[in-house]
Amino acid sequence: MCTKEAAVGERVAMISLHTSPLDQPGTGDAGGMNVYVIELSRRLAAQGIAVDVFTRATSSTLPQVVEAADGVLVHHVAAGPFEGLTKGELPGQLCTFAREVLRTEAMQPLGHYTAVHSHYWLSGQVGALARDRWNVPLVHSMHTMAKVKNAALAVGDTPEPVSRVIGEEQVVEAADLLVANTDAEARELVDLYGASPDAVEVIHPGVDLTVFTPRDRRESRRSLDLPEDAVVLLFAGRIQPLKAPDVLLRAVEVLLRDDPSLRHRLVVPVVGGPSGSGLEHPSALADLAADLGIEDVVRFVPPVTQGDLAVWASAATAVAVPSYNESFGLVAVEAQATGTPVVAAAVGGLTTVVRDGVSGLLVDTHEPRDWAASLRRLIDDPTLAERLGRGAVAHAQEFSWEHTAELTLAAYQRAAGRMRAEMAS
């Protein structure tokens, strides 16, 4: 369709099939990927690159097209029943979704899109078809990978099916360029999926540094009805075994068992909603808090906006990210940008996002006593907490969506070059 020499970056088709960038992060399938897609799209549009995001419609009341920002259109594609369809059932709707995406492009002038950027393997399957039909490069972001997840399953979590593994392998083979969040993810793509090192580009996600910025902690606590002198240990994210909020609760039980006097000033907000296999037992975390005898210090908060999340993070003594795996760990960067140190599991992208001893603390295990010991260091040593808070702000400055967009645009251009070379060979 469009000529090979067309300038890449004029209009990008962004495919995010299973979760909409307009959804509230923190529950269901909405999380860091939602933030990634909308923030990257906005920054690309700010550089003059129009973006059309294609996502599956989950309600009959949704408009067919929504202008999410100047230069960013979100297309709600009807594919399967609007509600009640699990992520595991979505592969059966790939053909319908792809047909509607191709139909949208067919109504536009020749060469309407100059690149396709797909997110998660389901979208990659559609992106591969669009690449061949439109004759434009396919750039793909995995976000999570079945082989990595299955190698580090949380207790009670469900392994990813073989069909997903095969689908991911197919997308890796079809993509002109793969975007990895970190060096660790790049190695996983090469070692586990056989990707060519030359076809992998490491581009860190960003953080909105105008939203996540240092604020007065006492003022943040007052606005959230938290005691100014409280010890606030925050978890923010989807409540599912992979994210391991139970590790924080079990660590809190250890803290209180070792020091009962801490109980009167300890607050443990859990900001988010059930997701993934956590949907099977939506009250499991609350039940655990009761079983551990710590329900009086745990406060469950529904998912909040990015602005409100910034207030929660700035109010915290520390933000805990005990996930069993993270391709990046956006919440950890966002928390650090507010000046709050992060205690994180030393897994995946978190080893890049958190600088141990500089912007936070990394924990090598998921044992509650090890987590309690790391959290105790920040509780007992305000000087350490303040130093890590300053380091957190400085470290977060390395991650901005503007920089992410610049590198991604260069990746589109590189992918186009790879595609031209392949066609010429």
- Residue set of the binding site: 18, 24-25, 29-34, 87, 120, 144, 164, 238, 243, 304, 316, 326, 334, 340
Q: Are strands 65-69 and 72-77 parallel, antiparallel or unpaired?
A: antiparallel
Please give the full DSSP string across 218-266, using - where no structure is assigned: HHHHHHTT--TT-EEEEEES-BSGGG-HHHHHHHHHHHHHH-GGGGGGE
Strand order in 177-180's β-sheet?
A: 65-69, 72-77, 50-56, 11-15, 115-119, 138-141, 177-180, 200-202
C-alpha gyration radius of the chain: 22
Structure tokens at 240: 């599912």
Are the C-beta atoms of residues 167 and 145 closer than 8 Å to each other? no
| Helix-strand-coil split of the chain, %, nearest 5 | 45, 15, 35
Q: Which region holds residue 71: left if phi is over 0, alpha if psi is between -120 and 50, else beta?
A: left
Structure tokens at 18: 């299973």
Contacts of 386 (CB under 8 A, 6+ apart): none
Are the C-beta atoms of residues 369 and 256 closer than 8 Å to each other? no
Annotated binding-site ranges for UDP-N-acetyl-alpha-D-glucosamine: 24-25, 32, 238, 243, 304, 326, 334
Q: Which region holds residue 84: left if phi is over 0, alpha if psi is between -120 and 50, else beta?
A: left
Annotated binding-site ranges for 1D-myo-inositol 3-phosphate: 18, 29-34, 87, 120, 144, 164
* Cβ-based burial of 197 (10 A; exposed 0-12, middle 13-18, buried ≥19): exposed
Please give the full DSSP string across 157-207, using - where no structure is assigned: PPPPPHHHHHHHHHHHHH-SEEEESSHHHHHHHHHHH---GGGEEE-----
Annotated binding-site ranges for Mg(2+): 316, 340
What phi, psi does 292 have (nearest 5°)? -80, -10
Which stretch of DSSP H or E encloses residue 318?
A: strand 318-321
Within 47-119, where are the H helices?
94-106
Are the C-beta atoms of residues 309 and 211 closer than 8 Å to each other? no
Fill in the amino acid letter for 6: A
Residue written as token pair 């925050």: 234
